[in-house]
Amino acid sequence: MTYAVLPHTRAPVRVWTDPHTIEPQAARQLRNIGTLPWVQGVAVMPDVHFGKGATVGSVIAMRQAVSPAAVGVDIGCGMSAVRTSLTAADLPDDLAGLRRAIEDAIPVGFAQRDKAVNPRRVRGLEQAGWDAFWQRFTGLHEGVTRLERRAMNQMGTLGGGNHFIEVCLEQGGVDAGRVWLMLHSGSRNIGKELAERHMAVARRLPHNAALPDRDLAVFLAGTAEMDAYRRDLWWAQEYARRNRAVMLALLCTVVRDRFPQVRYDEPISCHHNYVAEETYDGVEVLVTRKGAIRAGAGELGIIPGSMGTGSYIVRGRGNESAYCSASHGAGRRMSRGQAKRSFTTDDLAAQTTGVECRKDAGVVDEIPGAYKDINAVMAQQTDLVEVVAHLKQVVCVKG
């Protein structure tokens, strides 16, 4: 589709969905963002919905400034996936044992490890840079230094909410039935702790006093506050990337233990809550993607649906009108509270038929019916990405 433009904003706010379908709260957030003096432009993805501080599904290009709320509290949250040599015919009819093996290998929900994972003991894991990475912890915001042991013990753990681990089957094409492994997670509690501290600092800065929404407070280039935030931001983004790498390596080990003949392709990984330094029309900007992936020309990305509807592996088209971005998923169409009031465990079981997963009250808020139609979302961004593979989960692990 071609994008629409929200009216009455200083900077262009381009929208890859019908503007009239955007919930009023989210539309108000987007207009507020478009009025900020540092904003070069905004691209709004088809999975857009209201978010704390800044809109989920928003890509914001700023000159010499960055808003920590436009990144979100789960800094570096994103996706990883790898295609295997297995096919559906290799999998047993009963997948409950595979699901239990995954849950035994990777702590989920609020669980953490009894002791930190040793990267040298994880088969297939990148070995470089671990010592230097952890040594940088002492330079982070002083309010989190007491959390080092917790951060170490949460490395290689999933978390809860919309985070998941899946075994998927490729749909259609010459590789129909090929098994993929996929996971979605972020920087765990340490990213949240860092984000909330910096958001509080930004709200108190004098240049943010007159903003239409103090949650959109920014740090300015050349200030100590900006330097401190970027230091912690880069570290948290690396934490999230390494966290997914550990889990993917452990997941591959679980599958290898059950299917010794398995081989793996090169993994795909992408953040969808993060900051990047990029240049458009000769202007250097800081691009925040909150609920959006980078979709540069030829770049591979992952766009998941909900726990019963499948996901897409995509290749970016490099559309600069969208700051080379695409959606990060289907996007919620109702809040978690509304989902719990609207659906039952029977509804959950019906909507996840054929998927080995939790079907209890603890995950009703993640029911497919609480999300937008992933196929409709994909249809709205054909100028942003092309589909490489359509996947459907057969195992889904939730926290």
| Binding region | 74, 162-166, 184, 272-273, 304-307, 311, 328-331, 398
Instruction: Let me know if 20 is a catalytic residue.
Output: no
Binding residues for Mn(2+): 74, 163, 184, 272
Buried b vs exposed e over 215-234: b needs ≥16 C-beta within 10 Å?
Answer: bbbbbbeeeeebebbbebbe
Could you tell me which of 284, 293, 310, 325 has the C-alpha nearest to residue 394? 310
Task: Decide: 87 and 183 in contact? Cβ < 8 Å.
Answer: no
Q: Count CB atoms within 10 A of the CB of residue 388.
A: 15
Distance CA 89, CA 328 (A): 30
Q: Which residues contact 174 (CB under 8 A, 6 or more apart)?
A: none
Alpha-carbon separation of residue 146 from 77, 149, 154 (angstroms):
23, 8, 14
C-alpha separations of 80 from 69, 146, 221, 384, 395 in Å: 24, 29, 32, 20, 16
Contact 252, 125 (CB under 8 A): no
Count the Cβ atoms, other than its own, within 10 Å of residue 139: 12
Determine which one of 49, 198, 271, 328 is catalytic. 328
Active-site residue set: 328
